[in-house]
Structure 1
Amino acid sequence: MKKAAVSILVLSLSLTSCVSKKKFTELEAKQKETQDLLNTATVKLNTCLTEREALANQIDYLKKTNTDLINSSKELTVLTTKGAQNLEKSLESLKEKDLKISRLQDALTKKDSVTLALVTSLKREVGIDDPDININVEKGVVMISIADNLLFKSGSYNVTDKAKGVLAKVAKVINSKPDFECMVEGHTDNVPIKNAVLLDNWDLSVKRATSIVRVLHTELGVNPKQLIPAGRSYYIPLVDNDTPANRAKNRRTRIIIMPKIDQFYDMIEKEMKNLEK
């Protein structure tokens, strides 16, 4: 387009002498119009080039954004999958804990049921009308508390014939439960005792416990593996040793019957450890 304008200009100059002034003016105006068109086209071309560059940059940005979105979508999918897996694991863990809690509750219920059955059996055999015999449940085990005057003479550890009748009823229940254990505890008051045989209250409480254990084993046929003698002296009184009546209450023998409680506790302890994991 520029060559055409130059050619026209040269032609017009060469023909200046051949054309009239009017014709020259017309050609000059035409040339100016052509130059204006050329300038306008150049501006538009530059604008188009600028817009094209901007569009190219925008396309590159959109492509990058699209790629980032695709990658983000993939990462989100991975995260969502991991989240679902973690949620599933959490639900499984909760189910396992619920199962363990249920088993723990079953163990406790079973222990309570066995204990209740044992109490019922003992009360039926021994009877509950005698004020010197008390049967109850303490800390999950069955306890038979027998007053001192029913078992021994004062200061003695020899079991009376009257006591053997009560012990025979206790032995009947123990013998029917070969998996049970029986601890015999001797308790005294706080009045000091010492003679040729007994050194102190500890000695008296232990000898009374072993005397009852021997009767249960040798005379009443209780398996010795089930029997545990123990002396508590005067250190676990029921009441203050401040009156003769209170001291009489504290002089007692306590027979603790445990339905293999260690088996239940082992089960419970195991389940509790599993719950902590």
Structure 2
Amino acid sequence: MKKVILSLLVIGFTMTSCGTKKKIAALEAKNKETQDLLNSATIKLNNCLTEKKAFADQIEYLKKNNTDLINSSKELTVLTSKGATNLEKSLESLKEKDLKINRLQDALTKKDSVTLALVTSLKREVGINDPDIKINVEKGVVFISIADNLLFKSGSYEVSSGAKDVLAKVAKVINSKPDFECMVEGHTDNVPFKSSVLLDNWDLSVKRSTSIVRVLQNDLGVDPKQLIPAGRSFYVPLVDNDSPANRQKNRRTKIIILPKIDQFYDMIEKEMKNLSKE
């Protein structure tokens, strides 16, 4: 009887032990499945958090970009307004410059006519028509250039007797413009000159100038207050002093009529009216 009971107990224990192992194995399998699900969920959660941060950063960037665009739009509006104003001012400035350019072009177009009018007036007034006497107008100043051979003998500063006829015509011009000043400039060639009285070409050019001034004053009645003697030696040649013919051109006396600017334009206006009548 005891053997039978003991056998039953062993059988019962064995059956119980087998059932427990199955349950443990099932539980372990369930635990592994749960752990796998947890790991998968954790990975998905981390991915979602990363994407959330990326979306948040993108939203912040878009907000900032939108704000910058709004500010830029406002600044662009201001700049556009300023640009329009500046453009308008620039156009006005260009119009003024165009007007000034047109006036300058008109003045340049008339320049030759004005110069011709003045030269014609002076030649008509004094009756000068000699190739050795040149009359030009430059920058509001009248230049009368007289060749050396009409005024002096070679190497001399004494005015020749025949020169007074030429100087009388020049005196007529000066006397007709009592408010003008007259500068008499002596010019020589570059051949060195020296005499018992004169030291060099400077002395010769100045002495010739003062000799002409004395003739204009003493013999031809020009007011001495209008006269200015000056000498330039050989330092302002017309051409190179490389031949006898060129040196002769450089030996000259230049008489410069110096009007005030308003007198100069009065003279121009008078002569232009004379030309319009012809």
Q: Same fold (TM over 0.5)?
A: yes
Q: Matched residues in 2 for 1:155 and 1:263: separation?
A: 38
Q: Which amino acid aligns with 2:154?
A: S
Name the residue aligned to 2:97: 97
Cα deviation for residue 254 of structure 1 reads 2.1
Gaps of 5+ in 2: 1-55, 265-278
Q: Matched residues in 2 for 1:75 and 1:206: separation?
A: 73
Name the residue aligned to 1:210: 210
The answer to whether 1:240 aligns with 2:241 is: yes
Q: Which amino acid aligns with 1:230?
A: A
Q: Matched residues in 2 for 1:260 and 1:151: separation?
A: 29
Between the two proteins, the alignment pairs up a number of residues equal to 208
Q: Which amino acid aligns with 2:202?
A: W
Residues 187-210 of structure 1 show CA distances to partners (whole Å, capped at 9, x for unaligned) of 223444333321222111111112
Gaps of 5+ in 1: 1-56, 265-277
Q: Matched residues in 2 for 1:214 and 1:177: separation?
A: 19
**Could you say what the CA RMSD is over the residues aligned between the two structures, in angstroms?**
4.1
Q: Which amino acid aligns with 2:123?
A: K
Q: Which amino acid aligns with 1:208?
A: R
Name the residue aligned to 2:251: 251
Name the residue aligned to 1:172: 172
Name the residue aligned to 2:200: 200
C-alpha change, 1:139 and 1:83, in structure 2 (3 Å) is: closer
Q: Which amino acid aligns with 2:97?
A: K
Q: Matched residues in 2 for 1:233 and 1:146: separation?
A: 16
Does the CA contact (< 8 Å) of 1:157 and 1:211 recur in 2?
yes
Q: Secondary structure at the match of 2:169?
A: helix
C-alpha change, 1:194 and 1:64, in structure 2 (3 Å) is: closer
* 1:62-73 paired onto structure 2 within 5 Å: 73=73
Name the residue aligned to 2:155: 155
Does the CA contact (< 8 Å) of 1:115 and 1:259 recur in 2?
no
Cα deviation for residue 121 of structure 1 reads 1.9
Name the residue aligned to 2:38: none
User: How many percent of aligned residue pairs carry the same amino acid?
Assistant: 83
C-alpha change, 1:194 and 1:76, in structure 2 (3 Å) is: closer
Cα deviation for residue 185 of structure 1 reads 2.0
